Copies of this chain bind each other. A is one copy, B any other.
Amino acid sequence: MPSATNEVEIKAKAAKAASKKLANLSTAVKNKALLAIADELVGKEKDILAANRLDYREGKKAGMSTAMLDRLLLNTERIKGIAGDVRTVAALPDPVGETFEMRTLPNGLQVGKKRVPLGVIGAVYESRPNVTVDISVLCLKSGNAVMLRGGKEAVHSNSALAKIIQNVAYRAGVPEGAVQFIESTDRAMVGQMLKMRDYIDLVIPRGGADLIKYVAQNAAMPVVTGGIGVCHTYVDRSANLEKAAAIVYNAKVQRPTVCNALDAILVHAEVAKSYLPMVAQQLGRAKVELHCDKRALKILKPLTSIKAVPATEKDWGKEFLALVAAVKVVDSLEEALEHIDRYGSGHSEAIVTEDYSAAMKFLDEVDAACVYVNASTRFTDGGQFGLGAEVGISTQKFHARGPMGLRELTTYKWIVLGSGQVRP
């Protein structure tokens, strides 16, 4: 058995070698492979569920929480869902090979860009076994090889899924080695993987804040970080208050455990007295707890329909991922902008306003991946934005920002078509 370092290096090298062939694989073969993977996932359901039961049993024995166990669990319906997602990716347009910004220079040279895969994508992720399939097919479709490192707690499920993908893809004509899965659960493997700058072109961490931070700080190659969303909705003095209540309710309640859910409500002092009781009553019915600044608390304390408690400094800039929201009364749009600048995570920020200048100022000045006027931040999502599938949501500024689709797993090369031109 190879040592930790060896397994990682051998597999990274194999992925790099495969990536060179994969870069020019036809869309037809890639789609054929994806559809065959979808079929095989359903066909091999029994094997997958058997592996998943091992993980589930071990997780239960180790005292894993019900929520974690639920994330780990696979069943017939979930496997069907995963297979359906694979078919969705197969149906998406292939970003590779697109030629763009092509022009003819005065000397007759044709110069432009051609879209090409990045090469090898490293994925480091936790618990949910569907990520194994998800990332693999997004990489294959975009012509990238992939090196998978899932969480220890799902290793049997991930391994079973990876084997299916590897075998089916190879049979369909995908170069051998295009999908690499690290079997060893030794934590040192992640560290080793993050050093493979010569073989891995980009690392995508998917999981909790700690994992993302660890990968960002230790990777020798570029990393796409994201998924941490401290999202504000600012209700301007000119807001349509019914709209503002519906937007805030949706952003907080529709799915509170995800990154684009609302964390803090900022409300202009002029409308706070009419707006806060209204929205609080609605939020109260959904059992939302409000952590309020002094002025908001004064307005909301008398209400019995909502749990309103004093906010502490920690509540500002906190991603709650639960039915909790911070509430602050501000005296101006500028104060709201400053608060967002200070406490936001650069994910999704919204204003509710009927004032044209306020809307424009908010759009211009908020420095975040997604800036909204009069809509729920819950729309920040590759599917909702029309990208078809989503690799993740980047909160960094480099390369890609916001929801990342297949195109964000590619780069370009300049191509220059001449007829003997030399530089004078």
Contacts and interface: CB of A to CB of B under 8 A. Distances in A.
A326 to B, nearest CB: 20
13 contacts: A20-B367, A24-B364, A111-B386, A240-B420, A369-B413, A372-B415, A373-B416, A375-B416, A378-B423, A379-B421, A399-B399, A402-B413, A402-B414
Interface string A216-227: 010010100000
A368 interface: yes
A417 B373 contact: yes
Interface of A: 20, 23-24, 103, 105, 109, 111, 114, 116, 118-119, 201-202, 217, 220, 222, 240, 243, 246-247, 249-251, 254, 341, 363-376, 378-380, 384-386, 396-399, 401-403, 411-423
Q: Is the interface of A mostly helix, strand, loop or mixed?
A: mixed
Given A385-B111, A418-B372, A420-B375, A401 B412 contact: yes
A176 to B, nearest CB: 18
Given A373-B416, A385-B414, A414-B401, A422 B378 contact: yes
* Leading 6 A-B pairs by shortest Cβ distance: A375-B418, A250-B422, A243-B420, A378-B423, A397-B411, A374-B418
Contact of A414 (B24, B247, B370, B376): B370
Contacts of A217: 220
A418 B351 CA distance: 10
Given A398-B118, A398-B411, A367 B23 contact: yes
Interface centre among A103, A222, A254 (most CB of B within 10 A): A222
A109 to B, nearest CB: 6
A422 B247 contact: yes
A383 B109 CA distance: 14
A103 B386 contact: yes
Contacts of A109: 375, 379
Contact of A341 (B20, B243, B396, B418): B20
- Can you tell how many copies of this chain the complex includes? 2
A62 to B, nearest CB: 35
A20 B422 CA distance: 44
Contacts of A368: 413
Contacts of A251: 422
B415 A371 contact: yes
Nearest to A352: B420
A240 B418 CA distance: 13
Contacts of A423: 250, 254, 376, 378-379, 384
A46 B384 CA distance: 60
B111 A422 contact: no
Contacts of A401: 411-414
A419 B422 CA distance: 56
A246 B418 CA distance: 13
A379 B201 CA distance: 27
B422 A376 contact: yes
Contacts of A243: 419-420
Nearest to A116: B367
B371 A421 contact: no
A128 B369 CA distance: 37
Contact of A413 (B222, B367, B375, B386): B367
A398 B399 contact: yes
B422 A246 contact: yes
Given A376-B423, A385-B111, A399-B399, A413 B246 contact: no
Nearest to A106: B386
A413 to B, nearest CB: 6
Contacts of A247: 420, 422
A235 B201 CA distance: 30
Nearest to A380: B414
Contacts of A412: 401
Nearest to A365: B24
A275 to B, nearest CB: 15
Contacts of A372: 415-416, 418
A202 B24 contact: no
Given A105-B385, A222-B222, 18 more contacts: A23-B367, A114-B363, A119-B367, A240-B420, A366-B413, A370-B414, A370-B415, A370-B416, A373-B417, A373-B418, A374-B418, A375-B420, A375-B421, A376-B423, A397-B411, A398-B411, A401-B411, A403-B414
